[in-house]
Amino acid sequence: MSSVDISAIEEHMKMASLDGLRGYAQDHYGEVQQYRTTDYVPKSAAGGFQVLREPLWNKGLSFTPEERVSKNLTGLIPHAMESAETQVARCMKMINSRQTNIDKYLYLSALKDQNVDLFYRVLIDNVRELMPLVYTPTIGDVCLQYSTLYTRPEALYISIKQRKSIRTILRNWPYPNPEICVVTDGSRILGLGDLGVNGVGISIGKLALYTGAAGIHPSKTLPIVLDTGTANETNLKDPLYLGLRAKRPSPAVAQEFMDEFMEAVADVYPEMLVQFEDFETEKAFNYLSRYQHKYKCFNDDIQGTGAVVLAGYIGAVNLSGVPIEEQRLVFMGAGSAGVGVAKQMVEYYTRRGLSEQAAREKFWLVDTKGLVTNDRGDKLPDHKKYFSRQDNGGHQFRTLEEVIEYVRPSALVGLTATFGVFTESVVRALKASVDAGGSGRRPILFPLSNPLTKAECTFEQAIQWTEGTVIFASGSPFASFSIKHGDHAVTYHPNQGNNVYVFPGLGLGAILCKASKVTDEMVYIAAQSLSESLNAEEIHKGLIYPHIERVRDASVVVAREVMKAARREGVSTLPESQWVEWEEWGDVALTKFIKEKIYDPLK
Ligand SMILES: NC(=O)C1=CN([C@@H]2O[C@H](COP(=O)(O)OP(=O)(O)OC[C@H]3O[C@@H](n4cnc5c(N)ncnc54)[C@H](OP(=O)(O)O)[C@@H]3O)[C@@H](O)[C@H]2O)C=CC1
Ligand SMILES: CC(=O)C(=O)O
Ligand SMILES: [Mg+2]
């Protein structure tokens, strides 16, 4: 956050010392000026060079004449002093000159390694174009090739062989008191499966969005990968693979290691929020229930996704013309995301007065064996039991078409990590079942799997197969497109239903109110507040999420409501007097407080 104590970083890194008022010195143009220098002054010219080499200190061509003198930078950088806009324009020109998305990513990654402020200015000002590079879909390709692309470390890499040294490794992180870490063990990266240590790219990408989308100071973010081996044969055979060349341990051993990790984190960084990311299904559910009441943590795939999809669904129901009581939802995919989303929606229905049983019965979950039922003959894992149907009269529905024919749903959600499973016949059957309820009704279709190569269908297909009536959201972004009707064209705008609309604001809120835990209520409120964060233009356009350019605005709203929920839940550790002071001004004072904390570089 902007209140970050840079001097603490300097102290921590023992690279510079204060020598107070500088007095007279030659300025950038060779004129003698008096400076009121309150910045630290490196003792030698080498110190100036060091300033340029430290990505958190380097301000590129934004250094003022005064800073160039006081930090011994004169002559170490070109003469030009440039506005942020000019520097951003240069970066965008360079990015656009790169041919492939990976090359664009590598350029951005190198920029982050040289000048953090400029990297985030470029990202924030060009979020629609650049988010797909630092995050899904490109980050998926980066993870697949991480060991080959590797040039320098950007995270903490903690292998199970180092389990006795976890505290030491955590203390080796160079920036003091991180506030948020994203940790993965690489076992289910996006829809790409077990990538082992290569999955670290997802921790790095998510944290770039904590800063880009919610303004958490980059020095306060800590990416971590827990390396417990991999089941990925391609990686194991790759001579360049950077992780442990071992099969994954048993769940019991993995859990012991995770216990040790969580204890070490609580010891070394007691204030830090932990986001679990892309753990394979069983571990995802197990670690969430095991740690959520003990530590300050949440699971993004279960809870963040649950919240973001619920938010979009609330908006979609309003547009669909199908009354809430008549909604019936088929989920293809009954893993951590599918079950997490369905549970968040059950909560929504129960808060609208339905019994839990009635709410649960609105959902039909489909996995690789077909409709999840009590009597289909396989042993259901715990996470599927809650939604398992027992009203199927002994009949088993093996294909999605059969399920749609049987259920006649109003909404179809895809969280399968399987490309193309929403076929033309599936989507047309969904539309037919919605049309049968009355004219003007619109089907809700959310193919949410990432990256794009795993999407259940494309936006264009969804529009074509529903004659443009679909309410659509995908996990990775599709472009808008137009269809010509005679002499005029209709442009269709997709939504991106991705947890990036939730985790940054949820994390920001939890950090700012110094929450001791992340409660289910805080997650639910994140969903509700996101659904209420659209502006008039977005509502008029028929969108169900804010434009991605407004993701920071949405994060502020989410953070504010999460903070208030934390206080109601008794998990905020801010003094009560602070809340009373804010309350006098309604939401205004709290919103101002959040905005003042947000990192907005080169402004
Ligand atoms: N948009 C967003 O913000 C988010 C998107 N996701 C995406 O969701 C996807 C799933 O993630 P997650 O739930 O964690 O993964 P899981 O592995 O936990 O679950 C995948 C589920 O899909 C089912 N499945 C796979 N293939 C098929 C198929 N052909 N037909 C029917 N069911 C199938 C699996 O069935 P079975 O149980 O039988 O194996 C399983 O239930 C990923 O692509 C991920 O990127 C995740 C989080 C957020
Ligand atoms: C977006 C995300 O968290 C996922 O696809 O796993
Ligand atoms: Mg994820």
Distance 364 CA to ligand 1 centre (A): 15
Q: Which of 415, 496, 530 to mutate to test the pocket of ligand 1 (most atoms within 8 A of CB)?
A: 415
- Label residue 453 exposed, middle or buried (CB < 10 Å: 0-12, 13-18, 19+): middle
Kindly tell me if the per-residue pLDDT of 549 is higher than 80: yes
- C-alpha angle 20/22/23, rounded to 5°? 130
- 300 C-beta closer than 6 A to ligand 2: yes
The per-residue pLDDT for 47 is 84
Kindly tell me if the per-residue pLDDT of 407 is higher than 60: yes
Q: What is the ipTM of this complex?
A: 0.99
What does the pLDDT look like over 102-120, one tens digit per residue? Answer: 999 999 999 999 999 999 9
What does the pLDDT look like over 339-380, one tens digit per residue? Answer: 999 999 999 999 999 999 999 999 999 999 999 999 999 999
Ligand sitting nearest the alpha carbon of 184: 3
Q: Is 235 annotated as a binding residue?
A: no
- 495 C-beta closer than 6 A to ligand 1: no
What does the pLDDT look like over 568-585, one tens digit per residue? Answer: 999 999 999 999 999 999
The span from the CA of 265 to the CA of 161, in Å, is: 17
- 305 C-beta closer than 6 A to ligand 1: yes
Q: Which of 71, 206, 362, 384 is catalytic?
A: 206
Residues having C-beta closer than 5 Å to ion ligand 3? 278, 301
The per-residue pLDDT for 379 is 96
What does the pLDDT look like over 265-297, one tens digit per residue? Answer: 999 999 999 999 999 999 999 999 999 999 999
| Assigned token pair, 39 | 């910045």
- 551-569 and 588-597 helices, crossing angle to 10°: 120
The per-residue pLDDT for 596 is 97
Ligand sitting nearest the alpha carbon of 417: 1
**DSSP-H helix ranges across 296-449:** 305-320, 336-351, 356-360, 382-385, 400-407, 424-435
Residue 135 bears catalytic tag: yes
The per-residue pLDDT for 33 is 54
What does the pLDDT look like over 52-78, one tens digit per residue? Answer: 999 999 999 999 988 998 899 989 999
The per-residue pLDDT for 2 is 43
The per-residue pLDDT for 486 is 86
DSSP strand E in 23-142: where?
23-26, 32-35
| Assigned token pair, 499 | 């947890």
What does the pLDDT look like over 291-333, one tens digit per residue? Answer: 999 999 999 999 999 999 999 999 999 999 999 999 999 999 9
What does the pLDDT look like over 125-161, one tens digit per residue? Answer: 999 999 999 999 999 999 999 999 999 999 999 999 9
Share of the chain above pLDDT 70, in %: 92
Ligand 2 atom showing the smallest separation from residue 206 Cα: 3
The span from the CA of 93 to the CA of 89, in Å, is: 6
- Note whether 358 and 349 are within 8 A (CB): yes
Q: Which of 35, 40, 105, 135 is catalytic?
A: 135
- 365 C-beta closer than 6 A to ligand 1: no
What does the pLDDT look like over 17-51, one tens digit per residue? Answer: 333 334 445 555 666 554 544 444 445 556 899 99
The per-residue pLDDT for 19 is 37
Residue type for 449, please?
S
- 275 C-beta closer than 6 A to ligand 2: no
Instruction: Rounding to the nearest 10 degrees, give the CA dihedral for residues 69, 71, 77, 83.
Output: -80
Q: Which long-range contacts (C-beta less than 8 Å, at least 24 apart) are formed by 106-114?
A: 106/149, 108/133, 108/134, 109/154, 112/55, 112/208, 113/55, 113/152, 113/154, 114/55, 114/58, 114/60
- Label residue 16 exposed, middle or buried (CB < 10 Å: 0-12, 13-18, 19+): buried
Q: Whose Cα sits closest to atom 4 in ligand 2? A: 190
Distance 300 CA to ligand 1 centre (A): 14
What does the pLDDT look like over 499-513, one tens digit per residue? Answer: 999 999 999 999 999
**If you average pLDDT over every residue of the chain, what do you get?**
93
Stretch 395-415: mean pLDDT, rounded? 98
Q: Quick one: pLDDT band at residue 484, thresholds 50, 70, 90?
A: confident
Residue 294 bears catalytic tag: no
More confident residue, 544 or 7: 544
